[in-house]
Amino acid sequence: MEAGQRFGAYHLVSLIGAGGMGEVWKAEDESLRRTVAIKILPAANAQDRESNDRFKREARTAAQLNHPNIATIFSIDQFEDRAFIVMEYVDGEPLSKLILGSRLNPGEVIAIARSVADALAEAHEKGIVHRDIKPDNVVVSGRQVKVLDFGIAKRYGLDGESPGAAKSDTEFRTQAGIIVGTVQYMSPEQAMGKKLDGRSDIFSLGVVMYEALTGKLPFVGDSPALTLTRIIRDDPPHVRVTKPGLSPKLGAVVMRCLEKDPVRRFQNAHDVVAALDERMLAEVTDRAPERVSERDTPTAIAAPRPSTRSSPRAARTVIEKVPQARRSSSFAWIVAMIVLVIASIAATAFYLARDGKPTVEGVEAKVRAPESSPAGTTIAVTMPEAPGETEMAPTATLVDVIPAVATASGAAPGVEGKVESTGARPEPPLGRTVRSPASRELPPNATIAEQADYYYDQGLREVERRQPLEAYASFNKVVALEPDRAAAWVRAGELALFLRSPQEAVDHFRRAATIGKGLDERDALTATFGRAIANSDVAAMDAACEKAPFDRVYNELRRMATKRGATDCPAPIGVGLEAGRGPALRGGSKPGSAPSPRPIRKP
């Protein structure tokens, strides 16, 4: 076949690649006028029943998976006795090319690996193990990551498959199909021909992360057989030995994936996602590159936590360009934004049980300021439980917590505040203790509205637990269930800002404003202000602040921006992530006035 040739209803544009199970072409679907990729069974195998069955099995396996990080299968068809699969065309670069060019920083590696782990979680939930996770099968397209080629994937516990032609001497398939995959990325149990489960893919992902971070493979031999032997027998050099200066916590994640014994690895891909989310935040907050003074480097705010299932319906997965260290003013901004996120969750009072009564459990929200502060600063925003059936949530002004953090980090000109020593617990700015919502299960046969409420509450809990990516996925679940829930679009926009995805943030805020219904004055202003932050538009921030002249949160953020100028601010980090229907940010108080209580209510 040649470029320009017609193949059924498709016009072949260019050859993408070829392997033992066929050629993959970029093509134009002439009926739907879209670009697709088509994988065509080789002519030599066209009459072979076993090859045809395997080819179709590949399509059926991959078609079961519906996830933003997995290339979508559109159909399987036949033309002139040649079976072919029509799939999503991913216009991007393979991860192998990015690794070869040393074009990835640790934050980007974390984000890519997180997306791959999320895709694997979807596959593993359906009992499907990929068996060939490697950089060539991961494509980075703009802000998206796609996992390709479930061609040798199979369900747990099924017998081996028949052989296919090997693409190279590193792609091994025995006559019984016992060893299947690419040698350097195999798990020990895969190399020994044992039955596999999802933990084998986790090992392979560990190899990919190791290579992406260091530029070197953990297991290398002069032949495929020797490479397999080393995978089974030898421990690799620690990733931090191969790559000095790498975050210890990130190194621990990689090395845990590479444990020989599957029992000692992460037990499922959701746990990998959770660990990488922690490391993603830590890459911003706990690394201290040489060019940044110690006092300018915030400490990690992420703590170990239970894994949280991520949403297969989440909007486009974003590769977060986690920045390398910046000058002190930018770090102060980042610290302040992170504190706003945590503190605003601490002030949230949207915690309702199914029967409509507030449900609380005693978890106090705390934020740890930089270790480099005079005594290390612990900031606690607290709020007591009010008695009675009609619990009230006071209006909190979050800038009360900004000065201490900004001062502790030695930054934020014009932001004053007293740094309290951790030796004596500081008096909370508003004298309140915030309680986390109690976890609750989604009831069987829940209505659409109940499911949306559940995921909205879950999103709030995830932000409080410092799980921004899971929270973003939860709020996207809400809008998938109830596209007209404007408040959920606002929450998603705030999280997109925090995750450094300004275009997604603008889209979400615009969607919220378009819906309008159910969007109170405060959330409408949040959407306006969030778009201004995303666009680095100080004039728009000023205009938004004029609508709420006594709102200390917006005015403080505006002051931090205007003191540096719009171009001096780092990439958008996020407005004060009020988790919930805004009691945390609703109705700013005049300076010096006591916050007035407001009833807790659902969106």
**What's the rounded Cα separation, in Å, for the pair 240 and 246?**
6
Determine the pLDDT at residue 77: 85
255, 317: one domain: no
Report the distance separating Cα 405 and Cα 336, nearest Å.
Answer: 7
Q: For residue 363, how many other CB atoms are within 10 A of its CB?
A: 16
User: Total structural domains in the chain?
Assistant: 3
- What pLDDT does 5 receive? 85
142 pLDDT band, cuts 50/70/90, is: confident
pLDDT of residue 151: 54
Give a yes or no: residue 101 inside a domain: yes
What is the predicted pLDDT for the residue at 425? Answer: 33
Alpha-carbon distance 61 to 21, whole Å?
Answer: 15
Hey, CA dihedral for 264, 286, 134, 64, is it positive or negative? positive
- CATH code of the domain in which 153 resides: 1.10.510.10
Give the span between the Cα atoms of 37 and 87, in whole angstroms.
5
The answer, yes or no, to whether residue 529 has pLDDT greater than 60, is yes
Tens digits of per-residue pLDDT, 400-427?
323 333 333 333 333 333 333 333 333 3
Task: Return phi, psi of residue 5, to 5°.
Answer: -75, 150
Of 287, 315, 345, the residue that ends a domain is 287
pLDDT at 181: 56
The pairing of strands 138-141 and 93-94 is antiparallel
Active site members: 132
Whether the predicted pLDDT of 327 surpasses 70: no
Residues 143 and 245 in one domain: yes
Burial of 450 (C-beta count, 10 Å sphere; 0-12/13-18/19+)? middle
Q: What is the pLDDT of residues 229-268, one digit of tens each?
A: 899 999 999 999 999 888 888 999 999 999 999 999 999 9
- Contact at 8 Å (CB) between 283 and 106? yes
Of 483, 492, 473, 487, nearest in space to 448 by CA: 483
pLDDT for the residue numbered 253: 95
Average pLDDT estimate for 341-369? 38
pLDDT value for 363: 34
328 CA to centre of own chain: 26
Examine the domain organization and report whether 80 and 101 are in the same domain: no
Would 64 be classed as within a structural domain?
Answer: yes
**Structural domain contains residue 375:** yes
Cα separation of 340 and 301, whole Å?
Answer: 13
State how far the Cα of 258 lies from the Cα of 280, in Å rounded to an integer.
Answer: 20
Better-scored residue on pLDDT, 77 or 430:
77
CA 334 distance to own-chain centroid? 18
Same-domain status, 321 and 465: yes
| pLDDT(144) > 70 | yes
- Two tokens at 356? 């409509």
User: pLDDT tens digits for 182-193?
Assistant: 789 999 998 888
598 or 152, greater pLDDT: 152
Average pLDDT of the residues of the chain: 66
How long is the chain? Answer: 603
Q: Please check whether residues 516 and 404 belong to one and the same domain.
A: yes
Dump pLDDT digits (tens) for 558-601: 665 555 443 333 333 333 333 333 323 233 333 333 333 333 23
Residue 282 lies in a domain: yes
Rounded to 5°, the CA angle 47-3-60 comes to 45
Which one of 88, 104, 121 terminates a domain? 88
Residues 57 and 26 in one domain: yes
| Domain CATH for 461 | 1.25.40.10
Mean pLDDT throughout 515-527? 74
For tokens 């009831």, name the residue. 443
403 and 333 Cβ atoms separated by less than 8 Å = no
* Domain endpoint, select from 287, 305, 335: 287
Residue 479 — pLDDT band, cuts 50, 70, 90? confident
Kindly list the distances between the CA atom of residue 321 and the CA atoms of 472, 499, 522, 573, in Å, as whole numbers in the listed order.
16, 9, 30, 12
Q: What is the DSSP string of 519-541?
A: --HHHHHHHHHHHHHHTT-HHHH
| Containing structural domain, residue 122 | 93-287
50 plus 178 within the same structural domain: no
- Specify whether 129 is located in the same domain as 44: no
- Among the residue ranges 6-20, 134-148, 521-535, 567-581, the one predicted with the least confidence is 567-581
Can you tell me the mean pLDDT for 301-328? Answer: 37
Spatial distance between the Cα atoms of 283 and 396, rounded to a whole number of angstroms: 30
**Cβ pair 487, 519 in contact under 8 A:** yes
The answer, yes or no, to whether residue 507 has pLDDT greater than 60, is: yes
Q: What percent of the chain has pLDDT over 90?
A: 17
Determine the pLDDT at residue 512.
Answer: 82
- What's the predicted TM-score (pTM) here? 0.48
What confidence score (pLDDT) does residue 209 get? Answer: 96
* 36: in domain: yes
Once rounded to an integer, what is the mean pLDDT over residues 452-456? 89
Q: What pLDDT shows up at residue 549? A: 65
pLDDT for 409 equals: 35
**C-alpha span between 465 and 373 (Å, rounded):** 24
Q: Do 346 and 438 have their domain in common?
A: yes
Starting from the edge strand earliest in sequence, which strands make up the sheet with 82-88, in order? 6-7, 10-19, 22-29, 34-40, 82-88, 73-79
Are both 327 and 206 inside the same structural domain? no
Residue 40 is part of a domain; what is its CATH number? 3.30.200.20
189 and 103 in one domain? yes
Higher pLDDT, 180 or 208: 208
Q: Note the pLDDT of residue 537.
A: 75
pLDDT(290) > 90: no
In a domain, 235, yes or no: yes
Distance CA 265, CA 309 (A): 18
527 found inside a domain: yes
User: Which tens digits make up the pLDDT trace of 80-135?
Assistant: 878 888 988 888 889 999 999 887 889 889 999 999 999 999 999 988 898 889 99
Q: What is the mean pLDDT of residues 432-454?
A: 67
Q: Are residues 67 and 196 in the same domain?
A: no
Instruction: Output the CA–CA distances (angstroms, integers) from residue 56 to 50, 62, 150, 153, in the order listed.
Output: 10, 10, 12, 12
1 within some domain: no
Residue/partner pairs of 238-247 with CB below 8 Å, 24 or more apart: 239/210, 239/213, 239/214, 242/210, 242/214, 242/216, 243/213, 243/214, 246/106, 246/213, 247/106, 247/279, 247/282, 247/283, 247/286, 247/287
